[in-house]
Amino acid sequence: MGSTQVTPENVAEVASRFQALYTGAISDILDKNGYRNQVLPYYITPFTKANRVAGVAFTGQGYPCADVAHDDTQTRLKILDSIKPGTVSVWSTGGSMDCAHWGEIMSTAVWQRGCTGAVVDGGVRDVDFVNAMNYPVFAKFKCSASSVGRWDITECQVTIKIGATVIHPGDFVFGDIDGVVIIPKDMTMDVLVAAEDIYRREKGMREELRQGVSVTEAYAKYGSL
């Protein structure tokens, strides 16, 4: 694998190419290269009708809060205003389970700044409103409760962890109906090219299988996928 990175100039093109693929192929390539913990936990799934997302990770970290009088609004606004185009907002919640960590206002705010979607290890609310935006949000659960006084946003653009997956700012995020995979930033372009090759070969194999060619013959022709 090489060291080509995604840049602000090519991120839209790269995201579009990923969107034509599927997470299973990406995961397989990462497995073969020794990166076996890049798929987020099974419970991180799309909670919106828009169920595909691709972009550079813009990470955020927060933790449960026991002070009902505490309000992290100013920190939240500052972080939302700092999000860059072509990113996916990815949040570790520190195990918080009693509130929504993402909703329609946050979706609107980051969408306006060119953020392509959100991946949250926690709760989402306002789903009808987010669906009306056709905006993809991947989360752990739905919850109506506000995070104010229950969960504090502490920092952004730091290394976070969701399940067994470590996510660095700048890693590439790709999600579809099957889940979310994180591609290390230095491998993004190489993984993309390899996945596109797999996609082409699988398409050829699929077409021949539908024509009655045996699995053995098709596998011999298209090789290990």
Give the model confidence (pLDDT) of 140-149 as tens digits: 999 999 999 9
What CATH architecture applies to the domain 23-183? 3-Layer(bba) Sandwich (3.50)
Per residue in 103-119, pLDDT (tens digit) is: 999 999 999 999 999 99
Q: Select the more confidently predicted residue: 110 or 209.
A: 110
pLDDT confidence bin for 222, thresholds 50/70/90: low
pLDDT confidence bin for 2, thresholds 50/70/90: very low
Global pTM? 0.91
Per residue in 47-90, pLDDT (tens digit) is: 999 999 999 999 999 999 988 888 888 898 999 999 999 999 99
pLDDT (0 to 100) of residue 93: 98
Q: Is the pLDDT of residue 220 over 80?
A: no
pLDDT (0 to 100) of residue 214: 73
Give the residue from 20, 80, 81 showing the smallest Cα distance to 54: 20
pLDDT (0 to 100) of residue 3: 46
**DSSP conformational letter for 8:** T
